[in-house]
Amino acid sequence: MKIEKEQIPFDKGQSFKIHTPCFRNYFFWHYHPEIELVYVEAINGISHVGKHISGFVGSYLVLIGPNIPHLNFDYGIETEYKQIVVQLHENFPENTIVSTPEFENIKNLLERAHLGFSFHGKTKEKAVEKLKAIQEMKSFDRLLGLIDILNILADSNEFEQLNNEDTRVKFFLNDKVRMGTVYNYIHENYDKNPDVNSVAEMVHLSTSAFCRYFKKQTNMTFTDFVNQYRINQAKTLLLCDVSVAEIAYNVGFESISYFNKLFKNLVGETPTEFKKKNMMNKNDV
């Protein structure tokens, strides 16, 4: 579960790869020199790109630049989900985009992709519709479809930049701690009382050294990370027939008022508002 370099095979005569991988319960903290566009449809999931960590609900479209460590987006998903992954050959930008003046906007997008971008709104809707369509196309039409998708993303302002600094793998290769160990421990204990001392001992660091390491790697304290993980789990439960009070206790909070306050700080709405909005969207599907 230490960071891995993924080797991506390409079919002969293909400049990019589009497929639907399924890792589900496998923790795959990895990087590769290929630019990647990922779309996931799921009730709830985790996004960990570089130092950025967040949860997503419903669907997620993200562009990741070369050599950016990231976690597979289906990690920990326990419900049904769909995933489409597009991986551009390492030489794709130079051979296809850079030398073509009409692709200047796409070139700029790909050059900044090392920061990571997630897309929302009409941009996501249009790009995903075309992404699903090109799966069934033949090679040449599929390439034109991909260029069209990249152009939609490049012209959009409906996006979130995930990192404020370069998080390419050179920063993480010196990592002596296995993030998978941390994730596994939190997943097993988030509803109890996760102990930073226990995690530090598991990865063979003093507690103070682990806390410094963890903050440097994620821009979050261990406690903040645990709370965000709990809130992410709560989102799934909120889409089921479970009361807010019961959910708060189920994910490890002893105070309902604190749960409500933290949920609103992290999500931007109260648990009740989140439940009402997303249950309506779910019923509309």
Q: What is the pLDDT of residues 59-117, one digit of tens each?
A: 999 999 999 999 999 988 878 899 999 999 999 999 999 989 999 999 999 999 999 99
Structural contact between residues 17 and 86, judged by C-beta atoms closer than 8 angstroms: yes
Structural contact between residues 98 and 150, judged by C-beta atoms closer than 8 angstroms: no
CATH class of 4-161: mainly beta
CA distances, 161 to each of 68, 87, 278 (Å)? 14, 20, 24
- Helix (H) or strand (E) segment spanning residue 30: strand 29-31
Structural contact between residues 88 and 34, judged by C-beta atoms closer than 8 angstroms: yes
Domain boundaries, the chain: 4-161, 176-284
CATH 1.10.10.60 fits 176-284, yes or no: yes
Q: Record the tokens describing residue 40, joined without a space.
A: 């996931």
pLDDT one-digit tens code per residue, 4-15:
889 999 998 899
pTM as predicted: 0.85
Annotate 37-53 with b (16+ C-beta within 10 A) or e (fewer): bbbbebbbbbbbbbbbb
For residue 155, the tally of other CB atoms under 10 A from its CB is 11
Q: Chunked in runs of 10, what are the mean pLDDT values of the chain (285 residues)?
A: 84 93 84 96 91 91 95 87 95 92 95 96 97 94 97 97 87 65 90 93 92 88 94 88 92 95 93 83 51
CA distance 48 to 39: 14
